[in-house]
């Protein structure tokens, strides 16, 4: 279906909220208008075409007004984000002079949220030059969210964000916009779980991290200069000294790292990665399953995240089966699930994460103990 064939979302006249095509009656009884141009909408829920809202103006219908699809997707995303009670903040990566540093991601509990562009709330923001799409209030901080459908945060907005010093996330829906066919559930799932579409456009800690890296670069340069001066002195004194320099007394170089959207920088080598994990999540609780062992680990600093690892037992190991069941459970329970790059290991985050996973694995263990072990 092409982009111009109607809207996925519409504004309900009765509630003032964005609805999707599944939520309304067919035809004009849907009681919806286009939030972009204000036209009355018709819910098309026939057998042949994909269900959508069409504009109904002066007795005639046409797919959409210019900017209608962009505007409704944008509003649907804002409404969804404003309804979240927690958000997974991604890791921050800073690069400077060939070096990089990262701040790991975390989960923020959201107490309340604001939609500064909504008519009711606009006046509160009238003194501010910038109106973020969504404002999420944590306990002692706020996070601003921008939704990109066609327009990204540009340089002038970036400059303004520097002034207000509030960490700002951008959700990039430009790819999804092209596809179409969204409802509120699938859009929520994509916004919540796809870490590749969220990115910091401003972060309060970025400047500090950058300064630290610059300091490191300066120190490394100074060290290099001292070494160079020393080696030149050696050269003058000892014709063989050059050999030593070539052999390399300098840095062996750090462990090769890669960026992970939840953890920040992690070792590229999976074995070293596992070591990082067990340091961060010590003392597992162990569950004995049929031909597998499950390990449940809790983050010691109480960031409400857990690590679940399945270890295989014997040749007919069923770890991938358990992993699939866990993934299914996490989705149903609304837990954020992050793949760490090691098979059958998952990082899960959310309210009462440990208790719920404990219960899930306990039930799995109980169920398995009823099954004879030798099938
Ligand atoms: Zn319209």
334 and 346 housed in the same domain:
yes
**371, exposed or middle or buried, with CB in 10 Å at 0-12, 13-18, 19+?**
exposed
Please give the full DSSP string across 303-314, using - where no structure is assigned. -SEEEEEEEE-S
Nearest Cα residue to 44 out of 34, 32, 56, 52: 52
CA of 343 to the centre of ligand 1 (A): 47
Q: How far, in Å, is the centroid of ligand 1 from the Cα of 76?
A: 15
Question: Ligand 1 centroid to 65 CA: how many Å?
Answer: 4
Tell me the CA–centroid distance for residue 63 and ligand 1, in Å.
9
Residues 49 and 144 placed together within one structural domain of the fold:
no
| Neighbouring residues of the ion ligand 1, judged by CB less than 5 Å | 34, 36-37, 39, 65, 68
**218 plus 280 within the same structural domain:** no
Same domain, 320 and 347: yes
**What is the pairing mode between strands 99-103 and 92-96?**
antiparallel
Residue pair 72/36 in contact by the 8 Å Cβ criterion: yes
Q: Which domain holds residue 290?
A: 269-370
Q: Are 128 and 146 in contact (CB under 8 A)?
A: no
Q: State pLDDT tens for residues 256-315.
A: 888 877 777 778 887 777 777 777 777 888 898 888 888 898 877 766 788 898 887 776
Same domain, 60 and 85: no
Q: Are residues 286 and 312 in the same domain?
A: yes
Interval between CA 126 and ligand 1 midpoint (Å) = 26
Q: What is the model's pLDDT at position 170?
A: 95
Give the residue ranges of the chain where pLDDT is below 70.
1-4, 121-123, 232-254, 302-303, 315-316, 340, 371-375
> CA 144 to CA 114: how far, in whole Å?
10
pLDDT at 245: 36
Task: Output the CA 61–ligand 1 centroid distance in Å.
Answer: 11
* CA 41–ligand 1 middle distance (angstroms): 8
Whether residues 182 and 86 share a domain: the answer is: yes
- What separation in Å is there between the alpha carbon of 70 and the centre of ligand 1? 10
Distance (Å) from CA 46 to ligand 1 centroid? 21
Q: Is 226 helix (H, G, I), strand (E, B) or coil?
A: helix
Strand 285-289 versus strand 112-114 pairing type: unpaired
- 37 Cα–ligand 1 center, Å: 4
Instruction: Please indicate, yes or no, whether the overall pTM of this predicted structure exceeds 0.75.
Output: no
Domain shared by 99 and 161, yes or no: yes
Which of 212, 195, 233, 207 shows the shortest CA–CA distance to 336? 195
Burial of 266 by CB count in 10 Å (0-12 exposed, 13-18 middle, 19+ buried)?
buried
Is there a single domain that holds both residue 125 and residue 200? yes
102 and 127, same domain (yes or no): yes
Number of neighbours of residue 124 by Cβ within 10 angstroms: 10
Q: Mind listing the pLDDT tens digit for each residue in 198-220?
A: 999 999 999 888 998 888 888 88
The model's pLDDT over 178-200, given as tens digits with 9 standing for 90+, comes to 888 899 999 999 998 888 899 99
* Beta-bridge partners for 288: 293
- Does residue 252 belong to any structural domain of this protein? no
Q: For residue 201, give both structure tokens.
A: 């456009």
* Pairing outcome for strands 60-62 and 292-298: unpaired
CA of 38 from ligand 1 middle (Å) equals 6
Q: Answer with the one of 66, 85, 109 that is the final residue of a domain.
A: 66
Say if 214 falls within a structural domain. Answer: yes
Can you give the three-state secondary structure of 250-279, one letter per residue? Answer: CCCCCCCEEEECCCEEEECCHHHHHHHHHH
CA of 110 to the centre of ligand 1 (A): 33
Terminal Cα distance for the chain, rounded: 48
Are 90 and 111 within one domain?
A: yes
Could you tell me if 192 and 80 lie in one domain?
A: yes
Number of domains present in the structure of the chain: 4
> C-alpha angle with apex 127: 126 to 128, nearest 5 degrees?
95
CATH of the domain at 354: 3.30.1360
């Amino acid at each position: 279906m092409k982009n111009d064939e109607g809207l996925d979302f519409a504004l309900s006249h009765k509630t003032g909220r964005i609805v999707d095509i599944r939520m309304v009656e067919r035809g004009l009884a849907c009681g919806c208008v286009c939030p972009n141009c204000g036209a009355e909408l018709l819910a098309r829920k026939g057998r042949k075409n994909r269900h959508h809202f069409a504009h109904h103006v002066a007795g005639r219908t046409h797919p959409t007004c210019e900017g209608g699809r962009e505007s409704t997707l944008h509003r649907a995303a804002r409404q969804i984000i404003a309804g979240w009670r927690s958000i997974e903040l991604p890791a921050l990566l800073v690069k400077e002079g060939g070096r990089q540093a990262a701040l790991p991601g975390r989960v923020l509990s959201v107490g309340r949220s604001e939609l500064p562009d909504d008519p009711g709330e606009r006046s509160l923001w009238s003194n501010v030059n910038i109106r973020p799409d969504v404002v999420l209030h944590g306990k002692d901080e706020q996070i601003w969210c921008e939704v990109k459908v066609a327009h990204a945060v540009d340089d002038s907005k970036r400059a303004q964000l520097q002034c207000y010093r509030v960490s700002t996330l951008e959700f990039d829906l430009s790819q999804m916009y092209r596809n179409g066919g969204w409802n509120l559930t699938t859009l929520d799932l994509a916004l919540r779980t796809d870490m590749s579409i969220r990115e910091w456009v401003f972060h309060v800690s970025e400047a500090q991290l950058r300064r630290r890296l610059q300091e490191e670069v300066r120190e490394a340069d100074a060290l290099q200069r001292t070494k160079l001066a020393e080696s030149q002195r050696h050269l003058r004194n000892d014709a063989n000294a050059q050999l030593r320099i070539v052999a390399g007394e300098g840095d062996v170089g750090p462990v090769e790292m890669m960026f992970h959207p939840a953890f920040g920088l992690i070792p590229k080598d999976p074995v070293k990665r596992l070591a990082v994990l067990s340091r961060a999540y010590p003392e597992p609780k162990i569950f004995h399953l049929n031909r597998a062992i499950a390990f449940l680990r809790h983050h010691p600093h109480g960031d409400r995240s857990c690590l679940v690892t399945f270890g295989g037992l014997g040749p007919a190991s069923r770890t991938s089966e358990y992993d699939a069941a866990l993934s299914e459970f996490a989705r149903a329970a609304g837990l954020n699930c992050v793949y760490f790059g090691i098979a059958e290991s998952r990082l899960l985050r959310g309210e009462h994460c440990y208790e719920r996973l404990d219960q899930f694995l306990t039930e799995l263990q109980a169920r398995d103990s009823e099954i004879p072990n030798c099938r």
